[in-house]
Amino acid sequence: MITHGEQGDLAFCRAGDESWTILRRGFRPYDDIIYHKERFYTLGNHGGLDAWDVSSSSPKRTVIAQVPPVLTGGRVIHKRYLVESSGDLLLVLRHDYFDDDANSPSQLHRTGGFKVFKLEERSSMNPRWVEVKSIGDRVLFLGDNYSVSISAREFPECSANCIYFTDDNGLDCSINTEWGVHDLGIFNIQEKTIQSCYPTESLRIIGRSVWVTPSL
């Protein structure tokens, strides 16, 4: 399943299909897509979550959850991510602030922090997003291309209960900007602090940065 085109059309293609099938045209752009528990989940740019069953000739859409609480204090939601972690479906909200002391217009955009929600599903009530204050020993890697959760016990080089993020702001990632990608870091969920991914100042990256999961 993909979103494509300027209007964010939603389409899918099953094994053996000779062409893509359009599910929805771009009146409702999507922020993220994930395959979870044998269904595709799409996250609208307003925060609403839908589930899609495309196993039959007549794909079925189910509205799952409403928009979680909006951040307060003047913070702007820059991006929303879906990621599976220990069998749970998480929604991560990334908020920005604007740095008035920046030396370049491209540096005005900075990540201020994250909020994490878990989809709570009970038979006696409708699914809902519940805020998560800790993800334990898990580590989240978020980005435009793919988001993944790993265990810090299995990968002790990574910091537990943290979010590693890349710069996926379209303006900052343009090859025409002098500064290139600069908004990368590690967010500690418990302490609500951000530290650099690098021990020293690094050269700017031109173009979008992505996470790569090696297959060993």
Residue 31 has pLDDT above 80, yes or no: yes
Residue 180 has pLDDT above 60, yes or no: no
The answer to whether 33 and 45 have CB atoms below 8 angstroms apart is no
Q: So what's the pLDDT on residue 153?
A: 94
190 sits in the region (left: phi over 0; alpha: psi -120 to 50; else beta) called: alpha
The predicted model scores a pTM of: 0.83
The answer to whether 208 and 144 have CB atoms below 8 angstroms apart is yes
Token couple for 126: 């409708």
Confidence of residue 86 (pLDDT cuts 50, 70, 90): very high
Compute the average pLDDT of residues 85-105: 78
Distance CA 45, CA 145 (A): 16
Confidence of residue 176 (pLDDT cuts 50, 70, 90): very low
Mean of the per-residue pLDDT values of the chain: 80
The tens digit of pLDDT for each residue in 39-70 reads 999 988 777 899 999 988 888 999 898 877 66
The tens digit of pLDDT for each residue in 124-152 reads 578 889 999 999 999 999 987 789 999 99
> What is the enclosing helix (H) or strand (E) of 109?
strand 109-122
**What CA–CA distances, in Å, run from 54 to 30, 31, 129?**
17, 20, 24
Compute the average pLDDT of residues 169-178: 51
- When mean pLDDT is compared over 24-33, 35-44, 98-107, 169-178, the highest value belongs to 35-44
Print burial letters for 190-209: b (CB count within 10 Å at least 16), e (below 16). Answer: eeeebeeeeeeeeeebeebb
